[in-house]
Structure formats: C-alpha cells, structure tokens
Chains A and B, each alone.
Chain A
Amino acid sequence: MGKPTECKYCEKEATIHLTQIVDNKIHKVDICEDCALAKKMTDPSNFTLTNLLDNMGGADDEFEGDLVRCESCGLSTADFKSLGRFGCPSCYESFKDLLDPMLEEMQKSATHRGKVPHVSAQRVASRNQIQLWEDNLQNAIKAERYEDAAQWRDKITQLKNELKSKV
C-alpha cells in the first residue's frame, strides 16, 4: 500500500473511500470520518450527483450554490445539484461555470461536431432577429426618427414574409 490518502476537504487521513458509478463513469472520493459526517456522506444511498458536483468545482459552500439562478426558468444551482438536470435550454448559459468542468470530465470534447438542424436553426435565428428589429423600431419611434423606423418596419416585414413562405 502507498502512503495514506489525504481527505479531500481537510488534511486528515482519509479513512472513507467512496466509489460511485454515475452514467457508467467512476467517481472516487477520499474523505476522513469527520468531514464525511459533516457533509452527511455516511449513507451511500444519499450520496448522489449533488456531492459529485461539489467535487467538480463551482460551489463548495451550500449557500454559495444558491446565488446562481437561470434567468429564463428560475432553476437554481441547488435545484440542478439535487435534480442532476437542467431546467431549460438557457441553463447551459446560466450554469456555464458549473458545466464546463463536467463536460470536460464526461464528454470527448466541449465542441459539437455532429448534425446541425439548419432549417430549424435558421428559423429560430430569424425570429430572434425580428425581435431585435422590433425593439429598434420601437426605439426609433420613441425618438421620432421616423425614417429609421420605416426602414426597420420594411426589414421586419420582409423577413416575416420569408419565414412564412418557408412553412
């Protein structure tokens, strides 16, 4: 046997060695008895992805975890840790800091190289564009820049027609 392993959280000798397989990936944690009790990790059935996420950086403190909340769907870091799932597509942006180390750990790389839904992506992009232009239109009207407003209006109409013709 090599030298005794140090506890992940303090410098004492780790006497508990926990191995958990989540999605066929092995995660190991070495921890001393005191920290295990403090972190309520003594019952393996309660030791879930929650704790694993602690080990992947992000929030170390339980309270700190609540600070991030997805603006779109309201999911908090704590929610994500307990569910192990995101609340909505925007969560990928909201929890980027938490996500990046996870992706590094479980995926081949962090960049998509597969299929792209061109039709659907184009439609979503156009719709976002229209939203943006509509804001511009309103601003132009408020500022009484009517020539600008007319231009925005024409652009919006044109893109909307293009969208319609594709359906």
Chain B
Amino acid sequence: MIISPLIEAEAELTHNAKLNCPVVLSTRIRLARNISDTPFPGWAKEAQRKEILATCMESLTALPQMEGGTCIMVDELSDLEKQILMERHLISRELSKAKKGSGIVVSKDQSCSVMINEEDHLRIQYLRSGFRFKQTWTTINEIDSALEENLDYAFSSELGYLTACPTNVGTGMRASAMMHLPALVIANQMEKVIRAVNQLGIAVRGVFGEGSDASGSIFQISNQQTLGESEDEIIKCLVNVLNSVIEQENNSRHKLLEKDPIKLLDKMGRAYGLLKNSHLLSSAEAVNLLSLLRLAIDLQAIPETYRSRIDRLYIESRPGHIQYAAKTEIDPNQRDQYRSRYMREQLAELQSLNFDKVVNKS
C-alpha cells in the first residue's frame, strides 16, 4: 500500500495529544490558494491540471517544512487508501473523488498536508493537537509565505486571494477546532449552543465536516466568513467563541456531577466495561464509548497518560483503519469483531476507573 508509511508513522494527530487539554482535541487552519491566470481545478482541462500539479509539487517538496514528507498522486490510490486518508483528515471527500491530476503532499509528522487540485489549486492545512491557534497560524503563515516565493498566487488588492468559490475569497482561511463536548450533548444543550454561535458567524459541523454527524460528541467549530477581516481578527473572534463554548461545556459537566453524579459515573463505568469486554463493536458505538473514557480522563478517573491513546483509538476505530489493520478484506460484521478485539488489547492494562477524585471534585 502506498500510504502504509503514513499509517505506521507517529503522527501529530495520533501520537501527540496535548496533555491536560480537555475539550479541545485539535486546532486546524487551512488556506485556499490559486495560481494566477490559470483556470481553477474544476474548470481546467486535464493537461492544465497536470501542469499545475507538477508545478505545485515541485514548490512544495522544496520547502524545508516538507523535508522527509510524502507525495501522493490521488489516482494511484485505492478506495480503501482514500478512505483511510479521509479518516485521518489528510484529504477531503472532494479530493478523493477528484478528476485526474490531483495530489497531496504530507509533512513528516503529518501536521501539514497540502491538497493539490481539490476545489482550489492549493489547500494548505496545518494541524496541531490541543488548543493552539497562535502557533498554528504562525506556522501555516510561514509555509504560505515560503510558497509564494515560487508560486504566483491569484490575488486582487480589493478581494484578496481569489478562490473557486466566493465563500472562500479574501483570506481563503478556514480556522477550526475539534471540540469534545460530551456534557453539552448529554444535557441536550448542543442545539442551543449551535444556534448561538451561528449567529456570531461561526459554523458547527460533525467531525468529518459538512453533513457528517457528531458521533463521539466531537464537533468541528470554524469561521464562516473569509472576506472583510484580517486573519488575526477572524482567529481572535473564533477563539473568543471557542472559549465560551469550553466554559459552557465545563459548566455543564459541573451541573451533571452536582445533580446526578451516579448517572454520569454509570455511563463512564459502562463505557469502560464495554470497551474492555465486548466482542462486537460497531464504529459508531466505539467512538461514543471512547468519548466517555476521554471525559473520564478529564475528570481524573483515568490517568492523563491515556489521553493520547484514546485520541488515537478514535481514529483507529474507523472502518478504513480497521480494514487496514486486519490486512485482509473483511465484511462489516468481522470488522466489528476485529474492532472489539483491538480495543480489548489496547485497553488491557487500563485499571478500573477511580471515581474518588470525581466525587470529591463535585
């Protein structure tokens, strides 16, 4: 498999969870960029797409930030490989269905990935675990500036970076955080939160972006508007909203522990029991159970050292990853069996949840 080195390497998303960072799993910024005087990928002819791909690949691989990285041509990938890359947030659904002449370049630690000829010529993405917008913006800004040394970007002084869709024009920037909000989900407060943040021009989506569900109580929260404000202003506004969502989630957790601690302890305890003992586990169920274990870490019922593992299991429990790990084609039922065995193995040494601290805290 072309992508095996990526799956087996230690990556930012799977091996580098930021300790003591409840609620926010990861921070991500993406920039949409296009080459001047060239049709956008959706309208370009195959030859033009291939030319763009070659030019961009050359500039990208020359970047010091991409040293030791991986270049992949999308049409050389199998469906399973595309699915796995999507599950790791390295490519979008759109790119997986792209016409000939699309590719990706992924940095060594997989924190930076650049899609070529997706909706725009370049979709540069930089991702860090935890809640780290400042650092994420600084890094992606440097990568973008370095690329600009070699590539002529389509830019207008009035409208900013020109993108295939006018929803991205201006900064071309989408900044987002992956948020784990189990207490707001349990307390049925998410709808209210979504409505409130929407009014501030902030979008809430499921873990796999537009149209995906929020299994595992994970939500992707991002800016919607790209034109009329600077990158710093957009990020500042988003961070303010995210901070207030974090506050809401924490309040909700306190309330749940105050009102009905037994109910919450029971949920976490059952999640522990099921993950350690079940023999059939669907992807959706696994993710929901892992969400409760992540909550147990936040509440200090599970040692902090498990955070990275739980965050990794979120990704490894997804269908494509299970299929890959099984090393042979297996049907969904066998997958559920394989997934449950994998969870049992991965959590074999996890001790019973220690609720003393949870109860004392409440």
Binding site for B on A (CB under 8 A): 23-25, 72-73, 75, 83-90, 92, 99, 102-103, 106-117, 119-121, 123-124, 127
- Taken together as a complex, chains A and B put the C-alpha atoms of A120 and B227 apart, in Å, by 20
**Inter-subunit contact A110/B227 (CB<8 Å):** yes
Binding site for A on B (CB under 8 A): 34, 36-40, 42-43, 119, 141, 144-145, 148-149, 151-162, 164-167, 169-171, 173, 198, 201, 203, 224-231, 233-234
- Taken together as a complex, chains A and B put the C-alpha atoms of A132 and B230 apart, in Å, by 33
**Inter-subunit contact B164/A86 (CB<8 Å):** yes
Contact of A120 among B155, B162, B228 (CB under 8 A): B155
Q: A residues within 8 A CB of B151?
A: 120
**Inter-subunit contact A108/B119 (CB<8 Å):** no
Q: B residues within 8 A CB of A83?
A: 42-43
Q: What's the nearest-Cβ distance from chain B to residue A53, in Å?
A: 11
Interface of A is mostly: loop
Contact of A112 among B38, B165, B170 (CB under 8 A): B170
20 residue pairs from A and B, CB less than 8 Å apart: A24-B198, A73-B43, A83-B43, A85-B119, A86-B43, A86-B162, A87-B39, A89-B38, A89-B162, A106-B166, A106-B224, A107-B226, A110-B158, A111-B228, A112-B156, A112-B161, A114-B173, A117-B144, A120-B152, A120-B155
Q: A residues within 8 A CB of B224?
A: 23-25, 106
- Taken together as a complex, chains A and B put the C-alpha atoms of A120 and B226 apart, in Å, by 20
Q: B residues within 8 A CB of A88?
A: 37-40, 43
Q: A residues within 8 A CB of B165?
A: 84-86
Name B150's closest neighbour in chain A (CB-CB).
A167
- Taken together as a complex, chains A and B put the C-alpha atoms of A23 and B224 apart, in Å, by 8
Q: B residues within 8 A CB of A120?
A: 36, 148-149, 151-153, 155
Q: B residues within 8 A CB of A119?
A: 145, 148-149
**Inter-subunit contact B40/A86 (CB<8 Å):** yes
| Residue of B148, B152, B166 with most partner-chain A CB within 10 A | B166
- Taken together as a complex, chains A and B put the C-alpha atoms of A127 and B224 apart, in Å, by 34
**Inter-subunit contact B37/A89 (CB<8 Å):** yes
Q: What's the nearest-Cβ distance from chain A to residue B107, in Å?
A: 21
